Amino acid sequence: MYKRIISVILIFIIMICCLGNNKANNNKQEKIYKNIYIEDIDMSNMTKKECIDILKEAYPLEDINLKYEGKTWTIHPKDIDFRYKIEEATDIAMKYTKTSKRLENLKRKSKLILNERHHIPLDEEYDKEKLSAIIDCIANQIDREYVNATLAIEKDGTFKRLPSKEGKKVQKDELQKEIDELIQNKNITDLNIPVKTTLPTLNSDDVQSVNSILGQFSTAFNNHTSRGSNIHTAGESSGDIILMPQEIYSYNKATGPRVLSKGYKYAPVIIGGKYRNGEGGGVCQVSTTIYNAALLAGLEIVEVHNHTYISHYVSGGRDATVAYGYYDLKFKNPYSHPIYIKNIVGDGAITTKIYGCKDDIKRIYVRTEYEYKKQKIIVKTYRVYLDQNNQKIKEELISTNKYDQK
């Protein structure tokens, strides 16, 4: 009971003091009430101008310097319309004990007189879209795509290699977040631009391992025909390809649709068991040549289809027909090194050479077994592996092919 009476008396005294202060303030320039802080700065008894001046000195508008590899990009406050809301924070401090509710004002003043501090945050603002545009501009100066190593085989059989290069990518979201944290923490310091290194999918060491022929095969054709022209076109688009370990080669993917708009011509094709003119006639000879080189290189055959009839340019069981969207030639690189597929189309012949690491060379030959049944010819194709003494190590059945007899 005694403590309650003391508290009531104390509050009454404080209220009288507050009323006295209010009257006094009417006769002099308004000041911020005691124990009011903006951030951690005590603004007690300061005028509005004094408060603003102190905050501007304590929180100057500073440049943001972004650094990368010895180069500096400077973002000036005006570039992003950056400012601290000093006037707004000052107004809040001035009006903290001057609300429209007199009782609330008395409560607040009572707490302040009893040394209870009231903290007002100093907010900031800037144009995030302008900052994003500046970061985009900086990224355009730093970013670069990675460059894969390249490999080419010269006419004399020598290897021409160009090294790979790593790429660079500015982490724009991360950089914008770091700048935002600097501004919010009111601690403007230099920032290192976060840049991610992007690695090439084919590096110089990979290309260096390609040094020997694993398998090669050739077929002949009449060069001075529409069919011969199609063989040239398909040969160019289906070669000069590096196949990484466990990667699958697709003939259809390499050439794309064999249509007139891509330089192909009408030439004889087998449709429904009959020879007719069609777009890209002759491209099966290219896929067949590649297929046989893949067999001799020891590559894993994933998909292969035979023609309706045994082809004139290769023996039965050794052909690979293709039809875009229907039949494809696919094989996988089973080695731990890349391989390189090279087509050489000359006057009247196409040769496919598959290059790889010398350590992956295999002694291989392909044999076939024929069986004649009524109107069909059944050909089984085997791949035979030999040791250094040409003794058979193993034999695998590659395909069973059924042809119509002409």
CB 90 within 8 A of CB 38: yes
Based on the number of CB atoms within 10 Å of its own CB, is 22 exposed (0-12), middle (13-18) or buried (19 or more)? middle
Question: What is the full DSSP assignment across 107-163?
Answer: HHHHHHHTT--EEE---EE--HHHHHHHHHHHHHHH-B--B--EEEE-TTS-EEEE-
Quote the pLDDT of residue 13.
53
Buried b (16+ CB within 10 A) or exposed e, 55-67: beeebeeeebebe
Residues 6+ apart with CB under 8 A from 112: 33, 34, 35, 36, 97, 118
Instruction: Give the position of tokens 């893949």.
Output: 294
CB 219 within 8 A of CB 285: yes
Q: Are strands 36-38 and 118-120 parallel, antiparallel or unpaired?
A: parallel
- Report, in angstroms and rounded to the nearest whole number, the Rg of the chain calculated over CA atoms: 41
Quote the pLDDT of residue 23.
44
> Which tens digit of pLDDT belongs to each residue from 113-132?
999 999 999 999 999 999 99
Quote the pLDDT of residue 255.
97
Average pLDDT estimate for 39-55: 95
User: Which has the higher per-residue pLDDT, 208 or 6?
Assistant: 208
CA 249/CA 233 separation, integer angstroms: 18
Residues 6+ apart with CB under 8 A from 151: 159, 160, 161, 207, 210, 242, 340
Quote the pLDDT of residue 324.
94
Instruction: Give the position of tokens 């007189």.
Output: 113
Residue 167: count of CB within 10 angstroms of its CB: 15
**Could you give the dihedral angle defined by the CA atoms of residues 309, 312, 314 and 316, in that order, rounded to the nearest 10 degrees?**
30
Which H/E stretch holds residue 346? strand 339-346
Could you tell me the CA-to-CA distances from 291 to 65, 219, 254 in Å, in that order?
59, 12, 14
Mean pLDDT, the chain, whole residue set? 91
Identity of the amino acid at 405: Q
Quote the pLDDT of residue 19.
46
Could you tell me the CA-to-CA distances from 126 to 84, 181, 188 in Å, in that order?
9, 12, 14
pTM over 0.85, yes/no: no
Based on the number of CB atoms within 10 Å of its own CB, is 391 exposed (0-12), middle (13-18) or buried (19 or more)? exposed
What band does 190 get if pLDDT is binned at 50, 70 and 90?
very high
Copy the structure tokens of residue 244: 């990484």
Average pLDDT estimate for 283-312: 97
Query: Is the pLDDT assigned to residue 249 strictly greater than 50?
Result: yes
Copy the structure tokens of residue 26: 């009417």
Average pLDDT estimate for 21-32: 58
Query: Is the pLDDT assigned to residue 307 strictly greater than 80?
Result: yes
> Which tens digit of pLDDT belongs to each residue from 67-116?
999 999 999 999 999 999 999 999 999 999 999 899 999 999 999 999 99
CA 90/CA 92 separation, integer angstroms: 5
Average pLDDT estimate for 300-307: 97
